């Protein structure tokens, strides 16, 4: 990586914006550059889909806020109201809507109604007409409802088991449908299909018309059709310059799926995608992750374009090569293990373009496809985003979080020496082996766990990684230089799960996000079990609380014990056990500890959430409009990129207005 590369862009509210570098992009051959450029255009073309999925008024609000920002930014004396508005505007842009990207709570407005009115007053008549929200006064009243009414669309994803999850969720996956109706609808679909191979509901909105439920499929000519047509256009151009025939084949399948909405085609595409391993350039593009739906039926749209790091991938390939060894020695019941692990692959990549639900908050690792039957029969493909992890690490070097929350110098030195290796190894094991391990009993679906399915799945993968990274096999496979690597990860994991990650949560609030619930659930469970015989404890040193591990081997045994139970829950579809486990350990935060963490973290002046800007890819054309090169630059600011995307990639006009 370049030593003089500027990773940190800016920080505002609870957010830190970084850039990521793409090593040696300039040296790539022209066909690869063109392939990457076309795939990147497809990755950006679906941006509006996610906005509308998050809430049906998001796109209208984005246009209104953009108009207000544009009108007021031209005024010489902008004043305090504009400065406050600008921060809120950037928060909305970051979150792809007016709900927090992690907590899913409605974003708090940091300016008064009077200040908002003064900003709206500067909108021109042409801007007002373009927004199609009525008169200036009517538009202002609609904004008051959307932004200030605490009871209106208060939670994007409701996970409170005492409430109707769909009625209380403000996302745009269901309309007029109750939780009971949706569950009955899809249970019937699964019964009628006679098999579990299709992820029913993945690419559609379920609506109620009179007494009838029907699905509005996201496809060309249907909902989101204009954006999907743009995605198809760029994917077809990419297919013509693909690195090999296999890539060309699965791109065609993906385009056919986008045209028809046929989920059988998406499964066929996913299988072809798994088996293509020879190319250097890869991508995901589609309706994939279901974290945004309380019932885990509906998938948000996302995309990622990446380049394989061949040297690093060759090093971690031993993980997938030995997948059967790990599966056979997993601490879970034999009946829940895979008898034959196949098609599992692991590679290290550099992200090039993030899109949809991968932008601007990016994952560090990915394991796909999510369809359980494909994982069990055909395997899966796992990636670790090396340049994203590196950028995050470089920006965090001087943050002071480690020094504040590590219990002693031994923990600090261990993390500085092995922390990066440990994090990457855990990610590799989590994505490649954790998600790819285990099997479900006949007739069981991950949907059976409802709102708890995503947390159980993430816990399963985390625990698999935590358990095996402490195995001597890591040394044998040359994955670690020293067995102390796993100790650095154990310290870091519990420190984060019980303390550091709660800096993201407001005092008095519960943990909502699946990954955060998973981390606290694991950490709190092993702390409860481990405190009894001094394996691990939450101790106080000079008035501050810290996590201290006394017996790392016994802690590993506890991770294995919990993994056994979590796999049983998934394999049998034990909803009640999933609910009890997560509600007991993963949701509620110790209020005294939480307050202490917030006070200690605040003094560091570090934003708890991180997002990334994409590089700018600019094609260079000759006289006949052929691409002769693709230039890359990293100079765009956060608002410049967001406003440009709003101008160049707004393909959905049939959104709802207030």
The answer to whether residue 629 is domain-embedded is no
CATH of the domain at 585: 3.30.540.30
Look at residues 129, 145, 172 and tell me which one is the last residue of a structural domain: 172
Residues 161 and 232 grouped into a single domain: no
Residues 154 and 250 grouped into a single domain: no
Helix/strand/coil for 18: strand
Residues 560 and 419 grouped into a single domain: yes
The answer to whether residue 485 is domain-embedded is yes
Q: For all residues of the chain together, what is the average pLDDT?
A: 95
Q: How far apart are CA 582 and CA 105, in angstroms?
A: 20
pLDDT score for 447: 81
pLDDT score for 419: 93
Residues 328 and 453 grouped into a single domain: yes
The answer to whether residue 554 is domain-embedded is yes
pTM (whole model) above 0.75: yes
Residues 236 and 139 grouped into a single domain: no
Q: How far is CA 393 from CA 18, 386, 396, 425, in A?
A: 11, 10, 5, 15
Closest CA to 469 of 492, 493, 485, 491: 485
The answer to whether residue 537 is domain-embedded is yes
Residues 593 and 465 grouped into a single domain: yes
The answer to whether residue 8 is domain-embedded is no
Q: How far apart are CA 116 and CA 597, in angstroms?
A: 34
Residues 140 and 242 grouped into a single domain: no
10-residue stretch averages of pLDDT, the chain, 658 residues long: 80 96 96 98 98 98 97 90 97 98 95 96 93 91 96 95 96 98 94 79 97 97 97 98 98 98 97 96 97 95 97 93 97 96 92 98 94 90 94 84 96 95 95 94 87 95 98 97 98 98 95 96 98 96 97 98 98 97 98 98 94 98 96 97 98 92
pLDDT score for 580: 98
Look at residues 135, 150, 172 and tell me which one is the last residue of a structural domain: 172
Look at residues 155, 172, 189 and tell me which one is the last residue of a structural domain: 172
Residues 422 and 546 grouped into a single domain: yes
pLDDT score for 196: 60
End-to-end CA distance of the chain: 47
Residues 436 and 515 grouped into a single domain: yes
Residues 345 and 229 grouped into a single domain: yes
Residues 54 and 135 grouped into a single domain: yes
DSSP-assigned letters across all residues of 618-645: EEEE-TTS-EEEEEEE----HHHHHHHH
Q: How far apart are CA 303 and CA 231, in angstroms?
A: 11
- Per-residue buried b or exposed e for 553-582, using 16+ beta carbons within 10 Å of the residue's own CB: ebbbbbbbbbbbbbbbbbbebbbebbbebb
Domain hosting 147: range is 47-172
Residues 321 and 259 grouped into a single domain: yes
DSSP-assigned letters across all residues of 495-545: HHHHTGGGGGS-TTPPP-SHHHHHHHHHHHHHHHHHHTTTSEEEEEETTEE
The answer to whether residue 615 is domain-embedded is no
The answer to whether residue 631 is domain-embedded is no
Residue with tokens 């990684």, as numbered in its chain: 465
Q: How far apart are CA 166 and CA 174, in angstroms?
A: 7
Q: How far apart are CA 364 and CA 385, in angstroms?
A: 5
The answer to whether residue 30 is domain-embedded is no
Residue 541 neighbours by CB distance under 10 Å: 10
Number of domains the chain is built from: 2
């Amino acid at each position: 990586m370049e030593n003089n590369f500027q990773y940190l862009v800016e920080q505002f509210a609870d957010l830190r914006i970084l850039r990521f570098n793409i090593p040696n992009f300039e040296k790539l051959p022209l066909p690869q550059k063109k392939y990457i450029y076309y795939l990147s255009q497809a990755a950006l073309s679906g941006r509006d889909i996610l906005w509308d999925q998050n809430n049906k008024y998001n796109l209208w609000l984005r246009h209104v806020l953009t108009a207000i920002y544009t009108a007021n930014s031209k005024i010489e004396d902008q004043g305090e109201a504009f400065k406050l508005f600008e921060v809120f505007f950037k928060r909305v842009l970051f979150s792809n809507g007016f709900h927090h990207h992690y907590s899913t709570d409605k974003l708090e407005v940091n300016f008064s109604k009077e200040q908002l009115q003064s900003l709206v007053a500067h909108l021109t008549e042409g801007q007002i007409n373009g927004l199609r929200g009525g008169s200036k006064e009517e538009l202002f009243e609609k904004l008051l409802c959307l932004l200030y009414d605490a009871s209106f669309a208060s939670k994007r994803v409701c996970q409170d088991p005492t409430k109707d999850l769909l009625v209380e969720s403000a996302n745009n996956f269901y309309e007029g449908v109750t939780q009971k109706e949706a569950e009955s609808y899809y249970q019937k679909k699964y019964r009628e299909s006679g098999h579990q191979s299709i992820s029913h509901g993945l690419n559609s909105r379920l609506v109620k018309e009179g007494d009838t439920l029907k699905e509005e499929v996201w496809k060309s000519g249907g909902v989101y059709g204009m954006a999907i047509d743009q995605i198809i256009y760029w994917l077809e151009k990419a297919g013509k310059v693909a690195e090999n025939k296999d890539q060309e084949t699965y791109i065609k399948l993906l385009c056919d799926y986008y045209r028809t909405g046929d989920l059988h085609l998406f499964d066929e595409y996913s299988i072809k995608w798994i088996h293509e391993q020879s190319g250097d350039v890869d991508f995901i593009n589609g309706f994939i992750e279901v974290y945004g739906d309380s019932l885990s039926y509906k998938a948000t749209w996302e995309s990622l374009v990446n380049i394989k790091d061949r040297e690093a991938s060759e090093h971690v390939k031993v993980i997938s090569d030995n997948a059967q060894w790990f599966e056979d020695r997993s601490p879970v019941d034999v009946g829940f293990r895979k008898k034959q692990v196949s098609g599992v692959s692991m590679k290290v990549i550099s992200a090039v373009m993030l899109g949809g639900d991968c932008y601007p908050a990016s994952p560090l690792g990915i394991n796909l496809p999510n369809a359980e039957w494909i994982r069990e029969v055909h395997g899966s493909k796992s990636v670790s985003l090396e340049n994203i992890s590196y950028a995050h690490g470089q920006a965090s070097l001087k943050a002071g979080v480690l020094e504040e929350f590590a219990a002693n110098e031994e923990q600090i030195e261990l993390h500085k020496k092995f922390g990066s290796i440990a994090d990457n190894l855990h990610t590799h094991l989590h994505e490649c082996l954790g998600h790819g391990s285990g099997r479900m009993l006949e007739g069981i679906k991950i949907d059976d766990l409802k709102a708890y399915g995503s947390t159980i799945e993430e816990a399963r993968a985390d625990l698999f990684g935590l358990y095996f990274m402490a195995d001597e096999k890591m040394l044998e496979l040359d994955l670690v230089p020293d067995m102390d690597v796993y100790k650095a990860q154990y310290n870091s994991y519990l420190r984060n799960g019980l303390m550091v990650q709660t800096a993201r949560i407001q005092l008095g609030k519960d943990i909502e996000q699946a990954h955060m619930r998973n981390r606290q659930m694991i950490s709190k469970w092993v702390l409860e079990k481990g405190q009894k015989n001094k394996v691990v404890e939450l101790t106080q040193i000079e008035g501050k609380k810290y996590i201290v591990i006394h017996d790392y081997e016994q802690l590993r045994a506890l991770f294995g014990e919990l993994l056994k139970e979590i796999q049983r829950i998934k394999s049998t579809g034990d909803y009640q056990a999933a609910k009890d486990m997560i509600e007991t350990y993963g949701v509620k935060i110790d209020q005294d500890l939480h307050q202490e963490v917030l006070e200690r973290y605040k003094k560091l002046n570090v934003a708890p959430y991180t997002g990334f800007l994409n590089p700018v890819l600019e094609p260079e054309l000759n006289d006949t409009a052929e691409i002769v090169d693709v230039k890359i630059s990293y100079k765009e600011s956060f608002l410049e990129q967001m406003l440009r995307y709003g101008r160049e990639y707004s393909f959905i006009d049939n959104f709802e207005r207030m």
